[in-house]
Amino acid sequence: MRYQRSSVLFAEAKKYIPGGVNSPVRAFKAVGGEPIFIKEAKGAYLYDEDDNQYIDYIASWGPLILGHAYQPVLDAVIEKAKKGTSFGIPTEIETELAKLAVGMVPNIDKIRFVNSGTEACMSAVRLARGFTGRDKIIKFAGCYHGHSDAFLIQAGSGAVTFGSPNSPGVTQGTAKDTLLANYNDLEGVKALSEANKGEIAAIIIEPVAGNMGCIIPSDSFIKGLRELCTQEGILLLFDEVMTGFRLGKGGAQEALNINADMVMFGKVIGGGLPVGAFAARAEIMAHLAPEGPVYQAGTLSGNPLAMSAGLAMLTALDSKPEIFTSLAEKTEFLHKGIAEVLTEKGIAHQINRFGSMVSVHFCEEPVVDFASSAKGNNDTFKRYFHGMLDQGIYLPPSAFESYFLNDAISYSDLAKTIEAVRKVF
Ligand code: KE4
């Protein structure tokens, strides 16, 4: 049986770990069925516990942009581990990675390392509040910035009232400081800003969204946000946990030609080990402890083992920027191939793509925000996901996620993937 050992392992995992997973999206709740368990991975391929091979389109949700077990990262981590993994005392390699990252990304002078994208976004919001002396933030429905309380909020009752919790355990007290707007709706943001004049510390956004599938901001929307923030003294926070070091050296700021006030990173910056980061111009970062009063800390933040993976990864990307072009071309090839098959089969679909982020939505209307993305969350998607999985293609197990291509994927892998779509339909 194709998934026998995974099924046994899942039953065992559920005895000791809630839902059998350490992050909900892995449990296949959005697509049905049981998750597979991975034994190992190399390059573009995953191998599950039943020795099935898969072409991997999630790359651990983004980090492994050069493929699994990338040799230069392995070598760096193995060498570093022999000298100790963490000291809780400053090390030179933290400065090396900080210097490299600051050199690759525009508009940042200083960077603070943490251990996840959640920590990066949570800390950036606290710093924005501390820097501006304001309490409220605006976020967008469908954008995900990690699981800290301020972000687990859904639209409140009225268009310009505050949000309401979308998870038990998040208090009304927290929710009142988070305002909800819709992606690509600049008028809605302006209305919120007007109704809360002088009270908004930051607008936090995924500059190219990846948690509603891939959604690209309209030029007028993202430019309008920048202008509004400048005019109102609001900090524009780019959550580049997905886009950072994936869209190019300079991430979404460079790709969209928009200057953010703060940028948050995760995924690629850690090369597959737990690293997050947030960065800004010196004036803002000077407010962060121990230099300034805004507190933020972490036992394993900047640990040399994780830094060694991140340094090897960013060094590879910095020295071979053609990787970004090659990845974008592979993603375009996949997009066109899938679109051709779905059109030929008469399947209603939308495909959104930006750089090496792409998403397939089985709906009639263009996908430009959370509401339109939700229309693609249907049985056709579930049939597609499992049909591809059974043919050895591992896609994100949710209609609200993006594919993340890794550069180890070959054109023959892409061709196989397109052929598999044809077989499903
Ligand atoms: P982490 O705390 O999971 O490292 O990062 C949170 C985060 C912040 N910002 C953006 C734009 C993100 O995409 C994420 C995390 N992404 C999800 C995938 N959509 C992680 C997968 C998971 O939750 O297991």
- The 10s digit of each residue's pLDDT in 102-146 is 999 999 999 999 999 999 999 999 999 999 999 999 999 999 999
239 in active site: yes
How high is the pLDDT of residue 165? 82
- For 87, counting Cβ atoms within 10 Å of its Cβ (0-12 exposed, 13-18 middle, 19+ buried), the class is exposed
Q: Are 150 and 14 within one domain? A: no
Q: Are 388 and 315 within one domain? A: no
Q: Are 315 and 325 within one domain? A: no
Q: Which of 319, 334, 353 is the last residue of a domain?
A: 319
Q: Which of 303, 319, 335 is the last residue of a domain?
A: 319
Q: Are 281 and 395 within one domain? A: no
Q: Are 20 and 102 within one domain? A: no
pTM check: above 0.75? yes
Question: Tokens at residue 409, please?
Answer: 């994927």
- Give, for 340, the enclosing helix (H) or strand (E): helix 322-344
Mutate to test the pocket of ligand 1, among 242, 265, 395, 404 (most ligand atoms within 8 A of CB): 242
Count of domains observed in the chain: 2
State percent of the chain over pLDDT 90: 96
Pairing of strands 350-354, 110-114: unpaired
Domain span holding position 382: 4-69+321-424
How far does residue 41's CA lie from ligand 1's centre (Å)?
21
How high is the pLDDT of residue 119? 98
Q: Are 235 and 101 within one domain? A: yes
pLDDT < 50 regions, the chain: 159
Round to whole Å and give the CA distance between 335 and 352: 8
C-alpha distances (whole Å) from 308 to each of 85, 165, 399 are 10, 38, 34
**Residue-wise pLDDT tens digits, 316-349:** 999 999 999 999 999 999 999 999 999 999 999 9
Q: Are 211 and 309 within one domain? A: yes
Q: Are 65 and 78 within one domain? A: no
Q: Are 181 and 260 within one domain? A: yes
Round to whole Å and give the CA distance between 240 and 206: 6
Q: Which of 288, 304, 319 is the last residue of a domain?
A: 319
How far does residue 61's CA lie from ligand 1's centre (Å)?
8
Looking from the CA of 326 toward its CB, the CA atoms found within 13 Å total 13
CATH code for the domain in which residue 285 is found: 3.40.640.10
End-to-end CA distance of the chain: 23
Which residues form ligand 1's pocket by a CB distance below 6 Å? 23, 25, 61, 116-118, 121, 144-146, 206, 210-211, 239, 241-242, 266, 276, 401
**Residue-wise pLDDT tens digits, 174-207:** 999 999 999 999 999 999 999 999 999 999 999 9
CATH code for the domain in which residue 346 is found: 3.90.1150.10
